[in-house]
A and B are shown apart, each in its own frame.
Chain A
C-alpha cells in the first residue's frame, strides 16, 4: 500500500526558533498534499493544501507567514513553523493524494511539536 512518512516524528524546540517538518510519499507521486493540525482530544483541522510547483492554499485563519509550506517535488512537501511559540505546540499530520488514482488520501504518522 501507499506509504507517507514524516520527519521528525517528535521535536522539542525553544520559543522563537523555526522548525521544519518533512512529508514524503515513498512509493507514489503526489501533486497534492495536505497539512493538518490536531489538538488533544480534538478533530484534525486542515491548515493548507500544498500543490507541487505552486503556492500553497491556506485555510481561513491560518497565518501563511507563520506556517511556510514548500512542495518542491512530487514526493516531498515541507512545513516550516517560523518563530515558534508555545501555542504552536501540537500534532501535525500530512496527507498525500496519489496522482495516479486521486481516490484516497494517505496519511503520515504525524509529528509532535513541543515549543518550550
Chain B
C-alpha cells in the first residue's frame, strides 16, 4: 500500500523567503504526482502535475521536482507572499487513485 509523507507538517516564514516543501512515497511505481493547495474549509486547487517520466514541472513561482527512484518530490515556491499561506498537499497517482500526504501548512508573515 502506498504511503505518502510530507515534512514538515507546518512552516512559518517571513514574506519574500523561498519555501521548500517535501513529499516522500514508498512505492516508486507511480503514474504521476500532483501538488495541490487547500485553503481552510475549502476544496483542492491543483498546482502542478508531474508525469512519472518527467523530473520537474514549473508554473510561475512554483517548481516541483520528482525523483521516482528515491521516492521523493519537492515543491519550491519562490519569493513567498502572504497569499501563499495555505496547506499544500502532494498526491501520488496510481491507476487513477490518489494517495495523499497529510499536507504542509504554510504561513507567510507579512
Given contacts A32-B96, A97-B96, A105-B96, contact A43 B42 (CB under 8 A): no
Counting CB contacts under 8 A, is B7 at the interface? no
Interface size on A, as a range, is: 20 to 34
A43 engages B41 (CB within 8 Å): no
Interface of chain B residues 74 through 97 with chain A (CB within 8 A): 89, 91, 93, 96-97
Docked Cα-Cα span, A104 to B57, in Å, equals 15
B46 engages A42 (CB within 8 Å): no
Counting CB contacts under 8 A, is B20 at the interface? no
Q: Point out the residue from A32, A97, A110 that lies within 8 Å of B42, measured CB to CB.
A: A110
B41 engages A112 (CB within 8 Å): yes
Interface size on B, as a range, is: 20 to 34
Of the listed stretches B11-19, B61-69, B98-106, name the one at the interface; the rest are far from the partner chain. Answer: B98-106
Docked Cα-Cα span, A102 to B49, in Å, equals 13
Docked Cα-Cα span, A95 to B46, in Å, equals 12
- Chain A residues in 8 Å Cβ range of B93: 105
Counting CB contacts under 8 A, is B4 at the interface? yes
Counting CB contacts under 8 A, is B43 at the interface? yes
Docked Cα-Cα span, A105 to B32, in Å, equals 12
- Chain B residues in 8 Å Cβ range of A95: 98
Query: Which residue numbers of B lie inside 8 Å of A, CB to CB?
Result: 4, 34, 36, 41-46, 49, 89, 91, 93, 96-103, 105
Query: Which residue numbers of A lie inside 8 Å of B, CB to CB?
Result: 6, 32, 34, 36, 41-46, 49, 91, 93, 95, 97, 102-110, 112
**New contact pairs (4) apart from A36-B100, A104-B34, A104-B46, CB-CB < 8 Å:** A32-B96, A105-B98, A107-B46, A109-B42
